Amino acid sequence: MSTTLSTVGLSIRDRLDDLTLTIHGGEVTAICGPNGAGKSTLLTCLAGLQDPDIGIAALGTRVMHEIPARQRAQCIGYLPQSPEVAWDVTVEVLVGLGRLPWHDAATSQGAATIDAAIATMDLEALRKRPVSRLSGGERARALMARVLSTGPAWILADEPLANLDLGHAIALMRRLREQANHGRGVVLVLHDLATAMNYADRVIVLDRGRVVADGEPCHALSEAVIRQTWDCPARWLGEPGSRALALG
């Protein structure tokens, strides 16, 4: 299991500017920033889906673009911001697509992994339902289950809470926290700063393609950083682990 994802001098014109980062497995890392900051672009580079103009992204000691696509897919589970489902398959079949890099969906081991992902995302009652008959939140949970069924060392998700109601959003963050506790690296693009503050081990704040803060949430999302980066007065309320953000 590769224990780091990293970038060195990563630059993409008009998107990212000279990013050098090392992200560790066993942690939840949140990437935050205003619209157009480069968050999604950074995530696609970390997933090996976009090559930089300058610099490199690496999985462990291996440069990303040198890793065969199948090996990369076995190690990295990626959930884009607006994922598309090409066929109206059932939830069970959709989740099973996560086993394609392993070619073992029909084996007992593959089936067990698929069942575990369905159970983790609370989809047992929906496993035979076609995707077209799911609500937005149910579909989001099914797509995350597809990521989990791969059994990846790394989970990269772009705004995974966007279509979830409050209860399922909290449940997903707790499950992702558990994945990190079991050694997986979890990297999330989040707009909800309170979620990042309460669940992440580390927050990377981007603005105009550059890192403006990086560290523990209480430092990277300080009131001063929020005011400077989002141009919005804010103050934190509550105790660590259950903070709320008051704006204005």
With 0.75 as the threshold, say if the pTM is over it. Answer: yes
- The H or E element spanning position 69 is helix 69-75
* Helix 166-181, helix 136-149: angle, nearest 10: 10
Q: Supply the Cα-derived Rg of the chain in whole angstroms.
A: 18
Q: Which domains does the chain have, with CATH numbers?
A: 4-83+152-247 (3.40.50.300)
d(C-alpha 166, C-alpha 103), whole Å: 35
The pLDDT of residue 83: 86
3-state SS, residue 2: coil
The number of beta carbons lying within 10 Å of the beta carbon of residue 238 is: 13
d(C-alpha 134, C-alpha 39), whole Å: 28
The pLDDT of residue 2: 65
For residue 87, how many C-alpha atoms fall within 13 Å in the half-sphere facing its CB? 8
CA 87 to chain centre: 24
* Helix 136-149, helix 108-120: angle, nearest 10: 140
Q: Which residues contact 217 (CB under 8 A, 6 or more apart)?
A: 30, 196, 197, 198, 200, 201, 202, 203
The pLDDT of residue 84: 83
* pLDDT tens, the chain, 248 aa long: 568 999 999 999 999 999 999 999 999 999 999 999 999 999 999 999 999 999 999 999 999 999 999 999 999 999 999 888 889 999 999 999 999 999 998 899 999 999 999 999 999 999 999 999 999 989 999 999 999 999 999 999 999 998 889 998 999 999 999 999 999 999 999 999 999 999 999 999 999 999 999 999 999 999 999 999 999 999 999 999 999 999 97
